[in-house]
Amino acid sequence: MSKSQTAPSLKTARGLGSAKEGTDHWWMQRLSAVAMMLLAPLMIFLVITLIGEPYDAVVAKLSSPLWGGVALLFVCASFYHAHLGLQVVIEDYIGGHAARLTLIILIRGALIILGLIAVLSVLRLMLT
């Protein structure tokens, strides 16, 4: 078999095709993972240092640009990463078309709402 029969040429590989999406899901899951290689250790450090602290101290810490920023970025990256990951798990284990689509939409909705709550909460702490 010649190479042209096994490997598609660049000409045919270009463009998004009829599916209208390419490797975006896979790529964004990796990008959010790389972001969390930095953010997760910072977030865990933040959480550990806040254990047992009174309300005012926790608010003061999260109001700072550094730690509020860490919490904001961690929430964005982790909730997005969780959405992408759960979608793959659902697609792997849920066979029925309707059940699969319903679950994916529900989880996307839940994570958007939760993420919005978390982001707005941190912003409120930082801006007041």
Partner 1 sequence: MTDQDTPVQRPLSPHLQVYRLPLLPLMSITHRVTGVGLAFGTLVLAWWLAALATGPGAYDLFIRFMNPLGGLALLGWMIAIAYHFCNGIRHLIWDTGHALDLGSAERAGYLVLVGWLVLSAVMVGSALLFWLS
Binding marks (x or -) toward partner 1, 28..67, rule CB under 8 A?
--x--xx-xx--x---x--xxx-xx--x--xx--x-----
CB neighbours of residue 80 within 10 Å: 19
Q: Does 94 bind partner 1 (CB under 8 A)?
A: no
Q: Does 125 bind partner 1 (CB under 8 A)?
A: yes
For the chain, first and last CA: distance in Å? 68
- What the block records as the tokens of 84 is 């992408």
Q: CA-CA distance, 27 to 42, in Å (whole number)?
A: 23
Q: Does 99 bind partner 1 (CB under 8 A)?
A: no
Residues that bind partner 1 (CB under 8 A): 30, 33-34, 36-37, 40, 44, 47-49, 51-52, 55, 58-59, 62, 71, 75, 78-79, 82, 85-86, 89, 111, 114-115, 117-118, 120-122, 124-125
